[in-house]
Amino acid sequence: MACNFETFADTQEFRAMLLTLPPPSGDSALRTTAPSAPGAEMSSTAEGNVLDDLREKWLEAEAAELDERDESALLFDKRLEMLMQIAEQERTNGLECNASSEQELI
């Protein structure tokens, strides 16, 4: 998914799925741009966060050079925020369309 992130991002289904996931952990300023070492334990939770995992894998694929990682991390965070806003608008528009259809039936 990380390697084809933009392809997924272009689909309404993916954007709708983003709204069902827990938000990325913590403030983006506090998150590291360095990936976890293989086999490293997660922080205090046994469960990972799907969006954090996606971000980490995307950084591995997009920004192999350390000097590019900070910029790439910021780009990913902004893109994810934009996708979630689009998904919210799509959901709102869908609810409005459903309400209009129901009114027409009455």
Residue 13 has pLDDT above 50, yes or no: yes
Q: Where are the domains of the chain?
A: 49-106
Produce one character per residue of 57-74: b if its CB has 16 or more CB atoms within 10 Å, e if not. ebbeebbeeeeebeebbe
What is the tens place of the pLDDT at every residue in 37-92? 444 544 444 457 888 888 888 888 776 666 677 788 888 889 999 999 999 999 99
Report yes or no on whether pTM surpasses 0.95: no
Which has more pLDDT, 65 or 36? Answer: 65
